[in-house]
Amino acid sequence: MAEDYPVTVAAGTLRDDAGAADDADVWARPHRWTPGGVHVSAGFTGAHLLHLAVAGCVLNDLFREAEALGVPLAGAEVTARGGFDPGTWASTGIAYAVRLDGPAPEDAARLLARVDEAAEIPRAVRQGAAVRRVSAPARPPGPRG
């Protein structure tokens, strides 16, 4: 059975300030759409980072599209998770779930549909992308810090 690699991002009223202080896997990041920033809960593996890209993109787009649609959004939480085939490391798929605070049910449905269509990272992952190694640029001389 494939292992599960969950991540959660939350902003606004759904950001868990109390739990973040006690959890080493939670860190805060600035966020252009919310004054209090985003709390990210994720391990630091490649699998977690892939899922974090999906969750973070959806979270950003929730706030951006809510503003564009005139939908009040006080808070959002996105959890993304999935697994990988242990023999090939092919993804078994990524699923994401969203909790919202603020919009009426009909506005929430409209917002979620628009974000699911617009979110760039989920769209790119759904289409597939070539990943290739290229030569690293030379590091400029000077102190490392």
Give yes or no for residue 106 having a pLDDT over 70.
Answer: yes
For residue 107, give the 3-state DSSP assignment: helix
Question: What is the model's pLDDT at position 1?
Answer: 46
Does the CA dihedral 38-40-44-49 come out positive or negative? negative
Q: Are 53 and 61 in contact (CB under 8 A)?
A: no
Write the CB contacts of 76 (distance below 8 Å, at least 6 apart in sequence): 10, 11, 12, 14, 59, 62, 63, 98, 99, 100, 101
Q: How far apart are CA 79 and CA 82, in angstroms?
A: 10
Q: How far apart are CA 15 and CA 84, in angstroms?
A: 28
Structural domains in the chain plus CATH codes: 7-134 (3.30.300.20)
pLDDT in tens, 69-87: 999 999 999 999 999 988 8
Query: Angle formed by the axes of helices 46-69 and 120-127, to 10°?
Result: 130
Question: Averaged over 108-126, what is the pLDDT?
Answer: 96
Q: How far apart are CA 77 and CA 108, in angstroms?
A: 13
pLDDT in tens, 15-65: 977 555 556 678 888 888 888 899 999 999 999 999 999 999 999 999 999
